[in-house]
Copies of this chain bind each other. A is one copy, B any other.
């Protein structure tokens, strides 16, 4: 029996964050997986855990869970029976949520390295290469990417092979050369280059948009959604993926390092093109609101009933202050 109450994004997020944190804690481990006779070396796993645990907004996992709930009509809110949830598709959604976060975490580790952004501060802590050395940071990032695909391919009957394959496909494409890694390569080549708005958009569609959109699509892939809903969720994901970056660029000039937990003003000082440098602050803010409108319109067109969390997350992405 469900009792309809006004949707509380804070409570919803807290419950899901708790679940995601516990799952990451369990899965990023030196213990050998079932059927394997050895685990991972402790020193590598320590760097991997440092990169992943206890930090970050976990926006991508929340998008996965919200999309899964929207298409399945189920909820993984705390208080529900764990065993029942595990027997359902929640386990798949949780694995997808953590896999996306591992890809995101590895990209930050590599992005912070001296040969890339050379950043020493992340989430208010020393970056992985500062703490563990460059070689360990490189390997920890590499291992986190592999672990993401391990999480998506458990030897368990509850997660059908078709779902495993589809999730791997979505994640691999979003992470690779025509997705996140490709976007970072364009970013790298764009320092000191004047980009048009459309070139900037293309870069960010790959660099951050692809993985954010994949989060939504992977959540949807954990349930059964009609094609029209899948397509609408794709548009939602594309809109908030871009909105996220527009707001990131705004915050880079309006917020301070302590609030962001990373070095503010970095893009401008590195002469990187941003939405603010191309559109100005005011038009960037208006563009973010426009993208929010597109995201909410897509949800309305999806035909799905339980889109409250997706709606709340879109608003949070655009109106956040850090």
Contacts and interface: CB of A to CB of B under 8 A. Distances in A.
Interface of A: 30, 32-33, 36, 38-41, 43-45, 48, 106-107, 110, 113, 115-116, 133-136, 138-139, 141-143, 145-150, 152-155, 160-162, 164-166, 168-169, 171-173, 175-179, 181-182, 184-186, 188-189, 202, 205-206
Given A169-B153, A182-B143, A40 B177 contact: yes
Task: Determine the main DSSP class of A at the interface with B.
Answer: helix
B149 A168 contact: yes
A165 B154 CA distance: 9
B145 A182 contact: no
A143 B36 contact: no
B153 A188 contact: no
Contacts of A184: 139
Contacts of A143: 176-177, 181-182, 185
A147 B172 contact: yes
**How many subunits of this chain does the assembly comprise?**
2
Contact of A164 (B147, B150, B165, B179): B165
Contacts of A179: 146
A181 B44 contact: yes
Given A110-B142, A165-B165, 7 more contacts: A106-B142, A113-B115, A139-B181, A139-B188, A146-B175, A146-B177, A149-B172
Scoring A107, A160, A188 by chain B CB atoms within 10 A of each residue's CB, the highest score goes to: A188
Contact of A178 (B38, B135, B177, B205): B38
Nearest to A184: B139
Nearest to A153: B169
Given A135-B115, A153-B165, A164-B161, A202 B172 contact: no
